[in-house]
Structure 1
Amino acid sequence: MNISQWFSQLVKSSSLLRPVASGRLPGRYLAHQDSLPTLPVPPLQQTLDRYLLALEPIISEEELSHTRELVREFRKPGGVGERLQKGLERRARKQENWLSDWWLKTAYLEYRLPVVVHSSPGVVLPKQDFLDRQGQLRFAAKLIEGALDFKTMIDNETLPVEYLGGKPLCMNQYYQILSSCRIPGQKRDSVVNYTKGKKPPTHVTVVHNFQFFELDVYNSDGSPLTTDQIFIQLEKIWNTSLQRNKEPIGILTTNHRNSWAKAYNNLIKDKTNKESVRSIEKSIFTVCLDAPIPRVSDDIYRSRVAAQMLHGGGSRWNSGNRWFDKTLQFIVAEDGSCGLVYEHAPSEGPPIVALLDHVVEYTKKPELVRSPMIPLPTPKKLRFNITPEIKNDIEKAKQNLNIMVEDLDIKVIVFHQFGKNFPKSEKISPDAFIQMALQLAYYRMYKQPCATYESASLRMFRLGRTDTIRSASVDSLNFVKAMDDPGKQDHEKAELLRRATQAHRAYTDLAIKGNAIDRHLLGLKLQAIEDLVSMPELFMDTAYAVAMHFNLSTSQVPAKTDCVMCFGPVVPDGYGVCYNPLDEHINFAVSAFNSCADTNAAQMAHYLEAALLDMRRLLQSHPRAKL
């Protein structure tokens, strides 16, 4: 079963479930976690063979023969590869998951570029029709209530366990996304989670006009506030923050991590500031009540909203209305554009989208109970004392952010011609079909393939995060080369397409079972660093650098909701492509950097649409060829 099938199965099993327990039932989650297998360390020989195979389509024959020599050296009996492999196997015996700590540090906490654009994904939700400000606040209130409803399931440990191919999945990420926050550090950040404390947080942070408020969302008896009550509280917040704050303190969180760490330490020297920052960090999540985005034509509206979700539009618009270190930030703008942005360290997209599906479903429910109007205390405004030094930090962060905002090129398209039902009717995995369309689009644009990253879930294993599905394969290259070759017959092309999708499907299966190559190679490299041995030549090789330079960084994040996730490219000359395949259409978000003369998000989107249509035409004119 591939990831898209897994999601449709998951979606069927997790429709709005009411919490079945009113009190916490600790132990249920742990019992489930303990029953999960641990992440395996793949055999060394297997990974090295697959590594050479993965290099074949993306490097020259000359480079490949050089790398073959390095691999031969690395895998010699009693050699460096074997020693590092043994070290990894020892680590795997001692730890709950040999990779998870390393991955958290190398992929996120030690990554020094801003989380904005470079790390944090956004989600664009369908536009809401608010007639007025009250509509915006009522929707935000309902959204908060829906998220608290989901939180009850997390607190009571009654979240339905998800399955993939009949196997239960690790649910740990769900327990990391609420009441958590990233904290900047000089060389490495950290993530704090406040759910485990004696007094778990009972408030959310609301931001309006760059002003931060602490909004308590539980009554004294522990019951959550109703939509009506939250709405009244949001009105109070709105009415006390009619003017934009002159100093958008939230902009600081958009900066390079080292600069932000310095500014952070400076900021919290002041007692008032420290209390305000702690309140934001401890809150269950953040709700950003945004100003409307500039009016644009319908065809670019979604792309503009995607940019708002990723970075807030710059210092003139809504970027100051965020605290980007917060794991979960819901965004609701006056004009009906809404979505969220999340800090990536604690979680992948699927748990975020499952929470989002629940919340969106909840906002559509009729309100059954009108609450008795008990007077509620006014939400607390968080105060900040801005010194000249902090003002200077804010100005610098504004300048850096605006450069980043100008640089991000993002295009959201709704591909209406068909959805996942078409490849399914051809007995082809929808994910593999879309990945081959991406390979074809890239090849047509650049006349060469590139290293391609697609995230694969390792949640079959305890504390599993992701590995890489390498979509550029020998089979995908054979297909894309043949596609526009007039010397090739259509039936041959159709056969090559099917073969390429099958190869992709096979690699996906390997990856989700813990047998892909990327995390294993990373583990061997980190083991070498830990053992203080000199770095093996294999990892200093040009081929390794090419293999790790993902010009296409892609992810399928399916949802019940007609939404799409988006993220920035991971290399300066690359693309970030995220997609949500629905039955009859596919939502795509394609990003690139304007500073790179060779990339163009709209052009990539155009080539992608053409590739999808050409592939459909090919298969329809040549029904299932016998392989």
Structure 2
Amino acid sequence: MEHTTFESTEERTFQYQNSLPPLPVPPLNESLKKYLDAVKPFLNKEEYQRTFEIVKKFEHGIGKELHHKLLERAKVKKNWLEEWWLNSAYLDARTPSQLSVNVAGSAPYLEHYWASKEGTQLERGAIAVWHTLHFWDLLRRERYVVDKVRGTPLDMNQLRMLFSTCKVPGVTRDSITNYFRTESEGDCPSHVVAMCRGHIFAFDAVHDGHILTPPEIHRQLAYIKKRCHNESNGPGVAALTTKERTQWAKIREYLINLDPNNFSILETIQSSLFVISLDDASPDGTPEDYSMISLLTLTGDPTIRWGDKSYNFLTFSNGTFGSNSDTNAIYFTHEQLK
């Protein structure tokens, strides 16, 4: 795989990050006009007039002072909004992540050359994992092409959060751990975690500096699946990531205090490139209807989805795929692996 559609030989993926312009602060009057335009269809004449007067009072009163403070903040922060949005809309949320925060859905392969077929889970899964690992390798070597709009580079920093990233529950606020490093920055984890029937496994996806081949990945997955199908179901610790965030944080602390080795296990999961979920489900799916696959990616077996990971790759028993991803990696789509 020496050359791909998304590989760049002239530009480095993150080379423009420091030269990107700061996030501008929109003029106050422009923001207020957009607000009035947005509410107008829902108000009668009297209600709109009253709203208009409130907005004008705000614009020439406290709004002016608040806007000045926002401009001052923008002088010292390249992105004045990012920290507020990350904390208030994301890390402070106490609702369970997998249903209220995560994004999930089917992979766009059904309408192409792979029709669903029982018994193809491991073969197709191994190939898809191999492609995903090469995508990681492009980022690690900073050879993924820079996204641009009419020649203007876009912010690529979100791609750093795709691999080896995990949200860690906190009692009042969660945090994000990110272990990804480019080659120029230093060492980076290279292991993946596989989950099957409530059991958790880990294996290194790189050997002697080379990514495992599809047959080598298949061998790992086949061993995991055979062992899990010959044993009783595991404890399904991953299901804890579906709980309310404060509850999950307290349970996590309990597990760590129970046995110091549990912290090492959690760290292995958190730092893994991504999670491979070997799902026994066999969803019906056609090019016209992805509903069942999408439903299962969100609400399927919670014991094999680590809801806090930036990317859970789901491979179902009939060879169809899906993903369940923490929204911190919302940039990523399966289409980028094709």
Do the aligned residues in 1 keep the contact of 2:192 with 2:272 (CA within 8 Å)? Answer: yes
Equivalent positions of 1:315-330 (< 5 A) are 318-330=301-313
1:15 CA displacement: 6.0
Name 2:248's counterpart in structure 1. Answer: 260
Give the 3-state SS of the residue equivalent to 1:57 in structure 2: helix
- Partners of 1:57 and 1:282 lie apart in 2 by 48
Decide which structure has the larger Cα Rg and report it.
Answer: 1
Partner of 1:578: none
Residue aligning to 1:290:
279
Q: Distance in 1 between matches of 2:256 and 2:53?
A: 54
> Does the CA-based 8 Å contact 1:207-1:322 persist in structure 2?
yes
Matched, 1:352 2:332: yes
The alignment partner of 2:294 has SS state of: helix
What's the CA shift for 1:63?
2.7
Do the aligned partners of 1:124 and 1:338 also contact (CA within 8 Å) in 2? Answer: yes
2:226 aligned with 1:239, yes or no? yes
1:307 maps to 2:307: no
With over 3 angstroms needed to count, the CA separation of the structure-2 counterparts of 1:38 and 1:278, relative to structure 1, is same
Partner of 1:386: none
Does structure 1 residue 225 correspond to structure 2 residue 212?
yes
Instruction: Choose the corresponding residue for 2:166, options 181, 202, 208.
Output: 181
Does 2:316 match 1:333? Answer: yes
Deviation at 1:298, TM superposition (A): 6.5
- Separation in 2, partners of 1:198, 1:297: 42
Q: Is the 8 Å Cα contact of residues 15 and 358 (structure 1) preserved in structure 2? A: no
Distance in 1 (CA, whole Å) between partners of 2:289 and 2:135 is 30
CA gap of 1:124–1:30, structure 2 versus 1, over 3 A, is closer
Letter in 2 for 1:191: I
Q: 1:303 to 1:30 in 2, by over 3 A?
A: closer
State the Cα distance separating 1:130 from its structure 2 match. 5.9
Query: CA 1:19 to 1:216, structure 2 compared with 1: closer, same or farther past 3 Å?
Result: farther
How far apart are residue 71 of structure 1 and its match?
1.2
Q: Distance in 1 between matches of 2:286 and 2:63?
A: 56
Q: Are 1:100 and 2:82 an aligned pair?
A: yes
Specify the alignment match of 1:277 in structure 2.
266
Deviation string for 1:546-575 (max 9, x for gaps)? xxxxxxxxxxxxxxxxxxxxxxxxxxxxxx
Mapped contact 2:105–2:295 kept (Cα < 8 A): no
Residue by residue, what CA displacement relative to the aligned partner does 1:586-608 show, whole Å, maximum 9, x if unpaired?
xxxxxxxxxxxxxxxxxxxxxxx
**Could you state the TM-score of these two structures normalised by the residue count of structure 2?**
0.89
Aligned counterparts of 2:287 and 2:216: Cα–Cα separation in 1: 37
Map of 1:66-145 to 2, 5 A cutoff?
Answer: 66-76=50-60, 79-125=61-107, 126-127=109-110, 128-129=114-115, 131-133=117-119, 135-145=120-130
Q: Which residue of 2 aligns with 1:494?
A: none
Residue equivalent to 1:58: 42
Aligned twin of 1:439: none
CA contact (8 A) 2:281 2:317 kept: yes
Q: What secondary structure, in the 3-state scheme, does the structure 1 residue paired with 2:16 have? A: helix
- Aligned residues of 1:211 and 1:244 also touching (Cα < 8 A): no
Q: Label 1:160 to 1:19 Cα distance change in 2 as closer, same or farther (>3 A).
A: closer
Report SS of the residue matched to 2:221. helix
TM-aligned CA deviation for residue 65 of structure 1: 2.2
Aligned partners of 2:13 and 2:146 also within 8 Å = no
The Cα of 1:66 is off from its aligned counterpart by 2.3
Residue 210 (1) aligns with residue 188 (2): no
Aligned-pair CA distance for 1:19: 6.3
Secondary structure in structure 1 of the residue aligned to 2:95: coil
Aligned counterpart, 1:162: 147
Residues 262-271 or 171-180, more deviating: 262-271
Q: State whether residues 124 and 319 of structure 2, in contact with CA within 8 Å, keep that contact through their aligned partners in structure 1.
A: no
Provide the rounded CA distance (Å) in 1 between the counterparts of 2:7 and 2:193.
25
Identify if the C-alpha distance between structure 1 residues 358 and 44 changes in structure 2 by more than 3 Å, giving closer, same or farther: closer
Task: For 1:162 and 1:246, locate their aligned partners in 2 and report how far apart those are by CA, in whole Å.
Answer: 42
Q: 1:524-563 counterparts in 2 under 5 A?
A: none
Cα-to-partner distance string for 1:373-413 (whole Å, 9 max, x where unaligned): xxxxxxxxxxxxxxxxxxxxxxxxxxxxxxxxxxxxxxxxx
Structure 1 position 167, deviation (Å): 2.3
Note if contact 2:199-2:228 (Cα within 8 Å) is conserved in structure 1: yes
User: Per-residue displacement from partner, 1:195-215 (whole Å, max 9, x unpaired)?
Assistant: 148541110011111111011
2:7 and 2:145 in contact (8 A); partners too: no
- C-alpha spacing 1:81/1:183, structure 2 compared with 1 (3 Å): same
Give, in whole Å, the separation in 2 of the partners of 1:17 and 1:301: 29
Shift of 1:104: 0.9
Give 2:29's aligned amino acid: Q
Distance 2:159 2:260 in 1: 33
> Is 1:201 matched up with 2:212?
no
Q: CA deviation at 1:132?
A: 5.0
Report if the CA contact (8 A) 1:253-1:324 is conserved.
yes
Q: Structure 1: state its 5+ residue gaps.
A: 1-13, 313-317, 362-627
Residue 252 of structure 1, CA deviation: 0.6
Distance (Å, rounded) in 1 between the aligned partners of 2:263 and 2:237: 13
Q: Does 1:43 align with 2:38?
A: no
Aligned-residue identity in percent: 31
Matched residue type, 1:92: A
Task: Tell me, in whole angstroms, the C-alpha distance in 2 between the residues paired with 1:259 and 1:100.
Answer: 27
RMSD over equivalenced CA pairs, Å: 2.4
Report Cα offsets for 1:485-531 as digits up to 9, x if no partner. Answer: xxxxxxxxxxxxxxxxxxxxxxxxxxxxxxxxxxxxxxxxxxxxxxx
Range 35-44 or range 158-167, more displaced: 158-167
Amino acid at match of 1:329: N
Can you give the 5+ residue segments of structure 2 that lack an aligned partner in the other structure? none
Which structure's relative contact order is higher, taking Cα pairs within 8 Å and 6+ residues apart? 2
Equivalent pair of 2:285/2:291 in contact (CA under 8 Å): no
When residues 299 and 173 of structure 1 are mapped into structure 2, their CA distance, relative to the original with a 3 A threshold, is closer
Separation (CA, whole Å) in 2 of partners of 1:259 and 1:64:
44
Q: Partners in 2 of 1:59 and 1:252 — Cα distance?
A: 44
> What amino acid does structure 2 have at the position aligned with 1:330?
F
Contact 1:16–1:358, Cα closer than 8 Å, also in 2: no
**Residues of 2 paired with 1:232 and 1:273: CA distance?**
27
